[in-house]
Amino acid sequence: MAHYAISGVWKDANGTITDYAIHTANKEKNTVDNPAKKYSKAEAIKLLDNSQNSAQTLLWNYTSKVWKWGTDIIVVATGTNKYLRTIQDGTVQDNLDHLINYTFVTNNMS
């Protein structure tokens, strides 16, 4: 089983998430590998649609200047479309829009 962390997103001109910044993670050691790899929306969904994989959000704490684990991420389907969603306290949130918008940081990331 592989564990991942998503620290940010890229958006198109309409504000729609197109890509995700995904880190491989070691959940037991509470660490992530840097730098993140840029995954398209389809690639990220395929990765996390595999029941052997899991992911959490990764949030930057500006006060302590360290990454902090967020909430679990799941794949949900509506009709024929699939999306990444977060679960916090049993509530499914709309998407990962609260993460860092890397579109403003860089348009290129391998």
Q: What 8-state DSSP symbol labels residue 103?
A: G
Q: C-alpha distances in angstroms, 37 versus 15, 23, 72, 90?
A: 21, 6, 19, 29
Question: Is 26 exposed, middle or buried, given 0-12, 13-18 or 19+ CB atoms closer than 10 A?
Answer: exposed
What's the average model confidence in pLDDT over 8-25? 92
Residue 109: its pLDDT value, please? 53
As a whole number of angstroms, the distance between CA 37 and CA 50 comes to: 18
Q: pTM score, two decimals?
A: 0.84
Residue 107: its pLDDT value, please? 53
Percent of the chain with pLDDT over 90: 46
What's the average model confidence in pLDDT over 73-102? 80
What's the average model confidence in pLDDT over 46-57? 95
| Listed range (19-23, 38-42, 69-73, 106-110) with the worst mean pLDDT | 106-110
Strands 37-40 and 100-101: unpaired
Element (H, E) at 35: none
